[in-house]
């Protein structure tokens, strides 16, 4: 490569417009952390500037402080891991005064992940978030109706269209119209599109797909479950094809008019810019990097730079032109 070509390559990459519109929230970059894989920002800020991300996604917060489960809490699996944390967190009041205030102080745009044991608790958490002093750094709320590490295990809200719709509707009522809410869905369902339809109909401005898959590992020395919570959530590159499929199915349903066109935040097994591009081509308007950050704490920002270069190489002037492009390229 000559110096001139090299210089052209660099300027082409930096000239790709990476901005993305997520239900009214226009972000300078599609890259995000994934909930539960980045704590609440201070730790990763040592390795990357959180402002470089489109949004920082917080660890799911509930109404009350929560210890999480006992240990062992994780097992390494081929190209991934099983986790059974149990939504450990400080509770919404401590979260807004300590964590959200800190994120605001460093200039991060924040997507706050919330959960509750009941639909009412989801709404209560949203209301207390809205009332907080640091709320102006919030660019959206992710409604975690699909964490597998709850007492009823696989029977999460997101397995039931009615429960999903009710929870989303109650959260929507508590937040200003200009704050988009995203329902986080599990692929562990028979008909993902029907859950997506229920969430959007109830007022979700977008969808985050996918949460971890419910899984299990047995310790073959002790011949007992390896994590203390018995089952856990499977994440990492091993599940990426599941994420691509889920995004593809829901995007296809939107293109067919079976549900309104809303932005999809893609998440699941993204480790490189190439992986991110797969999710984008399937229909993701933003990409979260989760488990890969355990391997490389700088990954959420690095993947964004790699994605920008790949888009430039493929001749895209705007990130948004690549969203869902694979749907146009099948017979």
Size of the site for other proteins (CB under 8 A): 50
Among 37, 137, 147, 159, the active-site one is 147
Q: What is the rounded CA–CA span in Å between residue 188 and residue 258?
A: 21
- 148: contact with other proteins by CB under 8 A: no
Asked if 96 interacts with other proteins (CB under 8 A), we say no
x-or-dash string of contact with other proteins, 277-316, rule CB under 8 A: --------------xxxxxxxx------------------
Which lies closer to other proteins via its Cβ, residue 73 or residue 166? 73
Q: Which residues contact 221 (CB under 8 A, 6 or more apart)?
A: none
CB of 151 to other proteins, least distance (A): 5
Q: Interacting stretch for other proteins, rule CB under 8 A, among 86-94, 125-133, 186-194, 203-211? A: 86-94
**What mask, x for binding other proteins by CB under 8 A, covers residues 253 to 272?**
------------------x-
- Yes or no: say if 264 and 205 are a contact pair by the CB < 8 Å rule: no
Cβ pair 168, 201 in contact under 8 A: no
Q: Is 102 in the site for other proteins (CB under 8 A)?
A: no
User: Is 147 tagged catalytic?
Assistant: yes
Residue 49 in the binding site for other proteins (CB under 8 A): no
Least Å distance, CB 208 to other proteins, is: 19
Calpha distance 98→169 (Å, rounded): 28
Task: Quote the CA–CA distance of 216 and 198 in Å, as a whole number.
Answer: 29
Burial class (CB in 10 A: 0-12, 13-18, 19+), 329: exposed
Q: Retrieve residue 266's tokens.
A: 């893609």
Residue 4: which residues within 8 A CB-CB, separation 6 or more?
Answer: none
Residue number, 37 or 123, with CB nearest to other proteins? 37
Q: Can you tell me the distance from the alpha carbon of 304 to that of 294, in angstroms, rounded to the nearest whole number? A: 17
Bridge partners of 224, per DSSP, are: 219
The reply to whether 14 sits near other proteins by the rule CB under 8 A is: no
Rg (CA), the chain: 19
Binder to other proteins among 1, 222, 330, 331 (CB under 8 A)? 222
Tokens at 36, concatenated = 């539960």
Interacting residues toward other proteins by CB under 8 A: 36-39, 42-44, 46-47, 59, 64-74, 76, 78-81, 83, 85-89, 91, 149-151, 222, 228-229, 236-237, 271, 291-298
Active site residues: 147
């Amino acid at each position: 490569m000559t110096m001139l070509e090299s210089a052209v390559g660099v300027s082409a990459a930096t000239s790709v417009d990476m901005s993305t519109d997520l239900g009214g929230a226009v972000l300078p970059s599609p890259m995000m952390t994934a909930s539960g894989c980045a704590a609440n920002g201070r730790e990763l800020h040592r390795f990357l500037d959180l402002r470089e991300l489109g949004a920082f996604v917080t660890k799911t917060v509930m109404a009350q402080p929560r210890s999480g489960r006992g240990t062992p809490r994780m097992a390494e699996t081929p190209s991934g891991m099983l986790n059974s944390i149990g939504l450990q967190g400080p509770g919404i009041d401590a979260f807004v005064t300590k964590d959200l205030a800190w994120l605001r102080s460093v200039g991060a745009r924040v997507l706050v992940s919330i959960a509750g044991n009941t639909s009412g608790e989801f709404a209560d958490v949203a209301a207390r978030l809205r009332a907080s002093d640091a709320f102006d750094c919030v660019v959206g709320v992710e409604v975690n109706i699909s964490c597998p590490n709850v007492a009823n295990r696989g029977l999460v809200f997101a397995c039931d269209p009615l429960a999903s719709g009710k929870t989303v509707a109650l959260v929507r009522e508590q937040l200003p119209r200009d704050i988009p809410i995203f329902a986080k869905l599990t692929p562990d369902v028979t008909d993902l599109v029907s859950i997506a339809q229920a969430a959007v109909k109830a007022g979700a401005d977008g969808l985050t797909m996918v949460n971890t898959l419910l899984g299990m590992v047995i310790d073959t020395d002790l011949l007992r479950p390896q994590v203390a919570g018995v089952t856990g959530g499977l994440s990492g590159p091993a599940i990426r094809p599941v994420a691509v499929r889920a995004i593809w199915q829901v995007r296809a349903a939107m293109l067919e008019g079976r549900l309104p066109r809303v932005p999809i935040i893609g998440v699941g097994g993204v480790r490189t810019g190439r992986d991110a591009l797969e999710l984008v081509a399937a229909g993701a308007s933003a990409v979260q990097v989760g488990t890969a950050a355990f391997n490389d704490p700088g990954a959420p920002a690095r993947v964004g730079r790699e994605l920008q270069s790949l888009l430039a190489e493929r001749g895209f002037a705007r990130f948004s032109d690549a969203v869902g492009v694979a749907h146009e390229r099948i017979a």
